[in-house]
Structure 1
Amino acid sequence: MTLVQNHRLPLSGNNKLWLLALILFNACSPKVQPVGKTGPVADNTTQTGKPTTVTPPMSTKPEVRLPAANKTSSIVMLLPFSLDNLNSVKGYSPADLKKANIAIDYYQGFKLALDSLTTRGYNYKLQIYDTKDEPAYTHSLSGNPAIKNSNLIVGPVFPEGIKSFIGVPATLSKPLLSPLSPAAPDEFANNNLITINPPLEYHARYAAQYVNNKLKPKKIFILRSGFSEDNKYLVPFKKMIDSLGKRKIQVVNFTVSKGSLTALRAQLNNKMENIFIVAAVNQSFLSVTLRSLDTLSRHYPVTVFGHPNWEKLTFLKADQLQRIKTHITSADRVNYRSAATINFIKSYRKQFNAEPSAFAYKGFDEGLYFGQILALDGNEMPYLDQHAYKALHNDFRFIKKPGLGWINTHVYVLQYVNFELKQVE
């Protein structure tokens, strides 16, 4: 087949047609079966050929296993391209454009991973469906035989889409990968779900583990904003600290009012680190509270552990965070100097004439991981805990929770050093 060179353009009101061309073009890999409007966007069987090759990161699993002979793994992707907007007078809204961009970047990363794996003898049938980000339509896809009979379903991307697709009562019997959302699996209560982006609970648990093992505190101060949202982080943190410390670590809960920490001064130690846990993301609260902690740090050793979303908050001041020795957890840390990352970037640029976004990295990592798991002889999907993996943006270390499915629990601990976040574990 003849392929037209693709040039990645930004989504805008004047060049929406590139989106449809991009999806159909990149679905050619290298055997393609065109489908009608009522079917998936593309249905392609990827066989050994000469696609772009990317050297995957090394798995932590020492055993090297070859793909099963003549095995073709079937993967379905449910992504919010909203292609109907291409022919709509109204066109794409800014929100729809953003979702479509996420879908495209993720798909391109995932597709590049499968292309790379075909050079090693793996075979895949990849089908792409546009969810249109519409609950009713997304739910209707769950009855499609091609989707129900696949080996792995990737998506929908957003929590509401996952809920719509699963439905009530749930009839899903195939592994369903939640590819980007960190939503707690309790929201879906499905034993076939794979949550690859660690939920907030596991950030809190790992932070508690780091505090207990590395800092060995006798006392911890939990600074509350008064908003119930704090509890999503603080409850699992407290539970883990009590368990690891065998309830010998004193936990002081303190609700901060107008940023004042004066009432805590009598309990502070001027010779040992005073550990403060701050789970809030509210700007007004953080502005005054972090300022007060900064003031305290002039007289007492202060170490702060914050919410993982602090990495995204532009109003926070790096110099202030550094002075109070701020730590956060993260499930998205790319080492741009590693050979695997450099190789991926070069291959992505060559294939798509674009820089990979965070979603492209995730798509690539997940495509490599699950592509290899599916291709192994036998059914390895029920044993994800036996397949630890070091990806480009995070590690994959799964646990199985009854009724909730598989959950990736790995996060990094970062600290503000030299005005930037550095990995400390």
Structure 2
Amino acid sequence: MTSVRNRLPQLSGNRWLLGLFTVLLIGACSPKTRWVSNPVNKPAETLTSPKVEVKPVVPPASKVSVISLILPFGLDHIGPGQHYDAISLKKARIAADYYRGFKLALDSLTYAGYNYKLELFDSKDNSAQAHSLAYNPKVRASDLIVGPVFPEDVKAFTSVLTSPRKPIVSPLSPESPSTFKNQNLVTVNPPLDYHAWATAKFINDKIKPQKVFILRSGYSEDNDYIVPFKKAIDSLSGRQIKVISITIVRGQLSALLPQLVKNGQNIFLIPSTNQQFLTVTLHSLDTLNKRYPVTLFGHPSWEHFVFLKAKQMQRLRTHITSADKVDYSLPSTVTFIKSYRNAWHTEPSAYALKGFDEGLYFGRLLAENSIKNWADFNGLHNSFHFEKKPGLGWVNTHVNLLMYTNFELKKAE
């Protein structure tokens, strides 16, 4: 378990960490998460997803669910002569935000009558440390392991715990479970393969085109999307949709003109995440759209690219897949934000929302002894639909298909 000195050293420029260590000192090793100073002003039921109701129950007194939470706090950066650099500080913030959301979810469930013992461990974003934690008796004995976070740490950790055991949740990484090949792994963030499949399904079911044009950047990374997309579109359409793949250089699209139509939609897929390539190619595609109507499908990472122009994206009828979509108008989201502010005196990040959803989902399943009965779940930030993959564990396959409408991304119809 992570240990913290009683006397904390001065933290240059990192005041926010004082709150983190206060949290660790007060709550990390508690045998049961409890309400302290009324951190949530409203009943816990209002903190759940609108479709997931938490009702007060009276579980057996002896039932205490033990959860090991392994996050990259990087506490080795605290101490005489030590400091956080920009990268390690960012990872520590992710760890702190996720922990706060997860803890708030367990507090909500504790209010409903469940009991938890939450144990925190610092992976330090170090593969050797993650590997070592896999041998820790407290970690191995826990009812549920959540973490580590980053792929190399997950790989080092799961390489030890290969025999059948209780689940190991990979909370944030979308890395394909084939990377780890561990039957106990629970992959919460849908890997890229499922984004490609969702795109192919939408194109096949909703548009039914004769052709799909894939515009390649020439970088090998494009294949991570192209290979599963082509496999999916061939399977879903019975090879009735022709896939035409072409490498685009300096935005030159003239070679495609003989194959385009003017009286219907021309379907394009761009799997690249390279800014220079996208800037040039999207400009050319925007020009082409004046004569040949374009419907564009892009990489899920585009959702976070600030250099993309909403007006241009809307003109190109751009679609993007996403596993995460927060509706800030929902009463449950508003209540969560207020409760989070009251509990932690700061604004919740996306990682806090993820932590809350995952804490609520797995905490409930764990307490009710149904940890392998994977019911669907609609949370504040994530939705879960888990499928069992032989030798690879459980994978969340739920992906949203979004489209630029009124200059923002909304669920495509």
| TM-score, normalising length: structure 2 | 0.91
CA RMSD in angstroms comes to 2.2
Cα gap change, 1:134 to 1:172, in 2 (>3 Å): farther
1:58, 1:389 within 8 Å by CA — same for their partners in 2?
Answer: no
Matched, 1:22 2:22: yes
Partner of residue 371, structure 2:
381
Structure 2 SS opposite 1:45? coil
Deviation string 1:61-85 (CA, Å, 9 cap, x unpaired) is: x998967433221111011111122
Once the 2 structures are TM-superposed, how far is the Cα of residue 146 of structure 1 from its aligned partner? 1.3
Hey, what's the Cα distance between the residues in 2 that align with 1:168 and 1:356?
Answer: 34
Deviation string 1:303-352 (CA, Å, 9 cap, x unpaired) is: 00000111122222221111111110111110000011011001001111
Quick one: which of 383, 387, 399 aligns to 1:399? 387
1:84, 1:132 within 8 Å by CA — same for their partners in 2?
Answer: yes
Quick one: which of 262, 273, 288 aligns to 1:281? 273
Quick one: which of 195, 205, 212 aligns to 2:197? 205
Quick one: which of 302, 308, 317 aligns to 2:300? 308
Hey, what's the Cα distance between the residues in 1 that align with 2:349 and 2:261?
Answer: 44
Hey, what's the Cα distance between the residues in 2 that align with 1:179 and 1:189?
Answer: 16
Q: Percent identity?
A: 53
Partner of residue 4, structure 2:
none
**In the alignment, residue 21 of structure 2 is paired with which amino acid?**
A
Quick one: which of 82, 93, 97 aligns to 1:105? 97
Partner of residue 409, structure 1:
397
| TM-score, normalising length: structure 1 | 0.88
Partner of residue 291, structure 1:
283
Partner of residue 182, structure 2:
190
Quick one: which of 261, 266, 280 aligns to 1:269? 261
Cα gap change, 1:223 to 1:361, in 2 (>3 Å): same
Question: In the comparison of the two structures, how many residue pairs are matched?
Answer: 397
**In the alignment, residue 423 of structure 1 is paired with which amino acid?**
K
Hey, what's the Cα distance between the residues in 1 that align with 2:310 and 2:54?
Answer: 43
**In the alignment, residue 18 of structure 2 is paired with which amino acid?**
W
**In the alignment, residue 308 of structure 1 is paired with which amino acid?**
P
Once the 2 structures are TM-superposed, how far is the Cα of residue 189 of structure 1 from its aligned partner? 0.7
Structure 1 SS opposite 2:388? strand
Quick one: which of 329, 333, 337 aligns to 2:325? 333
Once the 2 structures are TM-superposed, how far is the Cα of residue 424 of structure 1 from its aligned partner? 1.7
**In the alignment, residue 29 of structure 2 is paired with which amino acid?**
A
Cα gap change, 1:44 to 1:21, in 2 (>3 Å): same
Hey, what's the Cα distance between the residues in 2 that align with 1:20 and 1:323?
Answer: 45
1:280, 1:286 within 8 Å by CA — same for their partners in 2?
Answer: yes
Unaligned runs of 5+ in 1: 1-10, 28-40
Residue pairs, 1:9-88, within 5 angstroms: 13=13, 15=15, 18-19=18-19, 21-25=21-25, 27=27, 42-46=29-33, 52=40, 53-54=43-44, 55=46, 56-59=48-51, 68-70=59-61, 71-88=63-80
Once the 2 structures are TM-superposed, how far is the Cα of residue 121 of structure 1 from its aligned partner? 1.1
Once the 2 structures are TM-superposed, how far is the Cα of residue 418 of structure 1 from its aligned partner? 2.2
Hey, what's the Cα distance between the residues in 1 that align with 2:94 and 2:266?
Answer: 41
Hey, what's the Cα distance between the residues in 2 that align with 1:12 and 1:214?
Answer: 55
Once the 2 structures are TM-superposed, how far is the Cα of residue 215 of structure 1 from its aligned partner? 1.2
Cα gap change, 1:130 to 1:14, in 2 (>3 Å): closer
Once the 2 structures are TM-superposed, how far is the Cα of residue 176 of structure 1 from its aligned partner? 0.6
